[in-house]
Amino acid sequence: MVTEPYYEAVRTGQYEKPTGLKGKYDNVRRYWEDEVTGLFLRPYLESLIAEKRKRNEPVRILDLGCGSADGYDLLINIPASGTSLSDHEFRLITPDMLGIYKGFDVNPMLIEQGESLLGGNERVDLCVADFSQGLPPEVGETPYDLYFTSYGTLSHNDDEQSIKLLSDIAKHSGEHSLVVGDWLGRYSYEWQSLWTEDLGKVKFMDYVISYLYSAEERVGRELEHFPLRLMCRQEVENVIATASANAGIEIKSRKIFDRSVLVGRHMDTGEYNKHCQSLRKTVNSLFEIGMRTDLEALLLDYHAEPGFDSLNDFFRNMVASWNALVQFAIDLLHSPRASRIPAHPEALRKAMQVVKRAVESAAELEMGDPKANIIEPQLGYALRGLEMGSQQGMGVGHGLVAIMEIRK
């Protein structure tokens, strides 16, 4: 597996926590991407945890490609559904329900960083291991309840390696286990120049983590490129079906979703699509306390790629809804009384209602800066909700995530 580019990122401080406006752990990562994965996973994880509670058993988690225990932060902070504002504990995985979080990563520097952050937690076990050829012996014999990957981890593998890993997981799992597989989306707008309808072509992209550095820092800096597998829904389903057949154990696909449809890392770099606007940087600003954002900078122009009618239709509709929501927020700030919500697709109407309530409630509050600290974060969450309600799991986001279930 690739290690050198990640060594460089760690050495230069790009993986430090927390960051906010830039770096690996920016606001979009924490308040958008992590939470989107958690919200899609929640109903399946709730069902599994309910079964574990009945048997008075804790939850065992295996994070493959854990980095510095990134999956721990994501999973532990998934909110339970139905919690009220008065509840003291809101998390789905309560402290008493976590048995073990075991993380594997091939990069020892990331494991070292994770141990420095969570080394005092007796329920966290991090170790260096390579799972490119299937589950390594370090996994042990005891099954896990959740086998987890995140942020394109499986795109480091070719299809045969991913099939072997999923097949091994199916054999290793217990009576009921969840599996989360995470790849790069084949049809992200960030790399529109790589789009192809022939799935036998452009299987891998030449990837560079230039997004961790500012435009000024990238000048004169030699960054290593490495191959990452691009996947669409059909390809993910084929991998799951083959792994299931090889294992002789059914792996059911429960949910496939796109993550970061318009806010992926390379929107800001334009590394693979010169038409990309620096959108992630602006959305990061929405979530930053005490910082006002130029909302006009959120308005997008979509440049179609000839020969891809269905993809162009999806992105045109997505961008139209995005721009309508942003313009609605701008208009409300100029005239809060002009708040009529037109007839729109359900996801857009819901997002507009969120913004409308935020503007109306902020007007009643006496505080330092309600625009920066209330309205803009809620616009960020509304845009996130728009993505969740509009995407179709086609591979049009930076990430394509599959939630799978195994029952024996």
Kindly state whether residues 246 and 303 are assigned to the same domain: no
| 72 Cβ contact list (under 8 Å, min separation 6) | 63, 66, 101, 103, 118, 124
Quote the CA–CA distance of 349 and 352 in Å, as a whole number. 5
Residue 269 lies in a domain: no
Closest among 174, 179, 171, 115 to 153, alpha carbons compared: 179
Return the bridge partners of 128, or none.
Answer: 105
Closest among 172, 177, 199 to 186, alpha carbons compared: 199
Kindly state whether residues 232 and 286 are assigned to the same domain: no
Q: According to the model, what pLDDT value does residue 288 have? A: 95
18 upstream amide cis, omega within 30 of 0? yes
> How far is residue 199 CA from its own chain's centroid?
24
Kindly state whether residues 183 and 284 are assigned to the same domain: no
Q: Which helix (H) or strand (E) holds 46?
A: helix 34-54
Kindly state whether residues 37 and 11 are assigned to the same domain: yes
Residue 314 lies in a domain: yes
Residue 287 lies in a domain: yes
Kindly state whether residues 50 and 131 are assigned to the same domain: yes
Q: According to the model, what pLDDT value does residue 10 have? A: 52
- Here the CATH number for the domain that contains residue 196 is 3.40.50.150
pLDDT tens figures, 119-165: 789 999 999 999 999 999 989 999 999 999 999 999 999 999 999 99
Each residue of 48-63: b (16+ CB within 10 Å) or e? bbeebeeeeebbbbbb
Residue 271 lies in a domain: no
Quick one: residue 108, left, alpha or beta (phi over 0 = left, psi -120 to 50 = alpha)?
alpha
Instruction: Give the domain range for residue 30.
Output: 4-261+393-407
What the block records as the tokens of 166 is 């999923």
Quote the CA–CA distance of 310 and 58 in Å, as a whole number. 45
Residue 37 lies in a domain: yes
| 58 Cβ contact list (under 8 Å, min separation 6) | 52, 96, 97, 98, 99, 100
Residue 135 lies in a domain: yes
Residue 77 lies in a domain: yes
Residue 134 lies in a domain: yes
Q: Domain count of the chain?
A: 2
Instruction: State whether the Cα torsion 153-220-206-158 is positive or negative.
Output: negative
- Contact criterion met (CB below 8 Å) for 38 and 178: no
Longest dimension (CA), the chain: 63
Helices (H), 77-189: 108-118, 159-172
Kindly state whether residues 194 and 45 are assigned to the same domain: yes
Write the single-letter amino acid at 64. L
Residue 191 has pLDDT above 90, yes or no: yes
| 120 Cβ contact list (under 8 Å, min separation 6) | none
Quote the CA–CA distance of 47 and 176 in Å, as a whole number. 10
Kindly state whether residues 131 and 104 are assigned to the same domain: yes
Return the bridge partners of 126, or none.
Answer: 103
What pairing do the DSSP bridges indicate for beta strands 176-185 and 399-407? antiparallel
Q: According to the model, what pLDDT value does residue 24 have? A: 83
What the block records as the tokens of 140 is 């042990």
What the block records as the tokens of 251 is 């792996």
Kindly state whether residues 131 and 165 are assigned to the same domain: yes
Quote the CA–CA distance of 393 and 227 in Å, as a whole number. 23
Closest among 234, 180, 240 to 34, alpha carbons compared: 180
Where are the strands (E) in 260-355, listed by range? none
Three-state DSSP class for 61? strand
pLDDT tens figures, 129-140: 999 999 999 899
pLDDT tens figures, 199-236: 999 999 999 888 877 777 777 777 788 999 999 999 99
Quote the CA–CA distance of 20 and 376 in Å, as a whole number. 15
Q: Which helix (H) or strand (E) holds 318?
A: helix 309-334
Kindly state whether residues 316 and 181 are assigned to the same domain: no
pLDDT tens figures, 9-48: 555 555 555 668 887 889 999 999 999 999 999 999 999 9
Q: What's the mean per-residue pLDDT of the chain? A: 91
Kindly state whether residues 226 and 85 are assigned to the same domain: yes
SS3 of the chain: helix, strand, coil, percent, to 5: 45, 15, 40
Return the bridge partners of 61, or none.
Answer: 101, 146
Residue 272 has pLDDT above 60, yes or no: yes
Where are the strands (E) in 155-244, listed by range? 176-185, 204-207, 226-231
Three-state DSSP class for 157? coil
Share of the chain above pLDDT 70, in %: 94
- Contact criterion met (CB below 8 Å) for 279 and 267: yes
Residue 4 has pLDDT above 60, yes or no: no
Kindly state whether residues 330 and 191 are assigned to the same domain: no
Kindly state whether residues 341 and 204 are assigned to the same domain: no
The DSSP call for residue 31 is I
